[in-house]
Structure 1
Amino acid sequence: MIRCQGLRWGAPGQPLTPALDFDLPGGSLTAVIGANGSGKSSLLKVIAGLQKPLAGKVALDVSPRGGLSFLPQQQYLDRQFPISLQELVSAGFWGSKQTPDVRRQRLDSVLNDWCLNGLEQRPLMALSGGELQRALLARLSLAEAPLLLLDEPHAALDELGQALLWKHIHTWHNEGRTLVVVCHDLAAVRQHIPQTLLIKNTGCVLAPSRELILQQPHTQVA
Structure 2
Amino acid sequence: MIRCEQLQWGAKAQPLTPPLDLHLPAGSLTAVIGSNGCGKSSLLKVIAGLQRPLRGRVRLGATCLGGVAYLVQQQALDRQFPIDLHRLVSAGFWRSPLSRRDRQTRLQQVLDDWRLLDLQRQPLQALSGGELQRALLARLSLTEARILLLDEPDAALDEQGQALLWQHIQRWQAEGRTQLLVSHDLAGLSQRLDDALLVAPSGCVFAPIQQLLAQRVQPLSRAA
Shorter-chain TM-score above 0.5? yes
Query: 2:190 is matched with which residue?
Result: 190
Query: 1:124 is matched with which residue?
Result: 124
Give the Cα separation in 1 of the matches to 2:86 and 2:144: 17
**Which of structure 1's runs of 4+ aligned residues deviate more than 3 A?**
none
Which amino acid in structure 1 is aligned with residue 62 of structure 2? V
Deviation of 1:211 (Å): 2.1
Task: Report the CA distance shift for 1:89/1:216 in structure 2 as closer, same or farther (over 3 A).
Answer: farther
Which amino acid in structure 2 is aligned with residue 92 of structure 1? G
Give the Cα separation in 2 of the matches to 1:124 and 1:44: 25
Matched, 1:138 2:133: no
User: For residues 44-69 of structure 1, what are the alpha-carbon distances to aligned partners after superposition, in whole Å with 9 as ceiling and x for unaligned?
Assistant: 00000000011111011112621010
> Alignment RMSD, CA only?
1.1
Deviation of 1:36 (Å): 1.2
Matched, 1:90 2:82: no
Deviation of 1:144 (Å): 2.3
Instruction: Output aligned runs, 1:42-81, within 5 Å.
Output: 42-63=42-63, 65-81=65-81
Give the Cα separation in 1 of the matches to 2:167 and 2:35: 27
Which amino acid in structure 2 is aligned with residue 199 of structure 1? V
Larger mean Cα displacement after TM superposition, 113-122 or 56-65:
56-65
Query: 1:175 is matched with which residue?
Result: 175
Which amino acid in structure 2 is aligned with residue 205 of structure 1? V
Give the Cα separation in 2 of the matches to 1:212 and 1:171: 26
Larger mean Cα displacement after TM superposition, 60-69 or 135-144:
60-69
For the 8 Å contact 1:49–1:64, the answer to whether it is kept is: no
Give the Cα separation in 2 of the matches to 1:153 and 1:186: 13
Query: 1:157 is matched with which residue?
Result: 157
Deviation of 1:105 (Å): 1.0
Which amino acid in structure 2 is aligned with residue 120 of structure 1? Q
Task: Give the secondary-structure state (helix, strand or coil) at the position aligned to 1:143.
Answer: coil
Give the Cα separation in 2 of the matches to 1:135 and 1:103: 16
Normalized against structure 2, the TM-score is what?
0.94
Give the Cα separation in 2 of the matches to 1:64 and 1:22: 22
Give the Cα separation in 1 of the matches to 2:26 and 2:181: 14
Task: Give the secondary-structure state (helix, strand or coil) at the position aligned to 2:157.
Answer: coil
Give the Cα separation in 2 of the matches to 1:29 and 1:184: 16
Task: Give the secondary-structure state (helix, strand or coil) at the position aligned to 2:142.
Answer: helix
**What runs of 5+ residues in structure 1 fail to find an aligned partner?**
218-222
User: For residues 186-212 of structure 1, what are the alpha-carbon distances to aligned partners after superposition, in whole Å with 9 as ceiling and x for unaligned?
Assistant: 111111122100011111111112222
In the alignment of these two chains, the number of paired residues is 217
Task: Report the CA distance shift for 1:216/1:171 in structure 2 as closer, same or farther (over 3 A).
Answer: farther
Query: 1:214 is matched with which residue?
Result: 214
Normalized against structure 1, the TM-score is what?
0.95
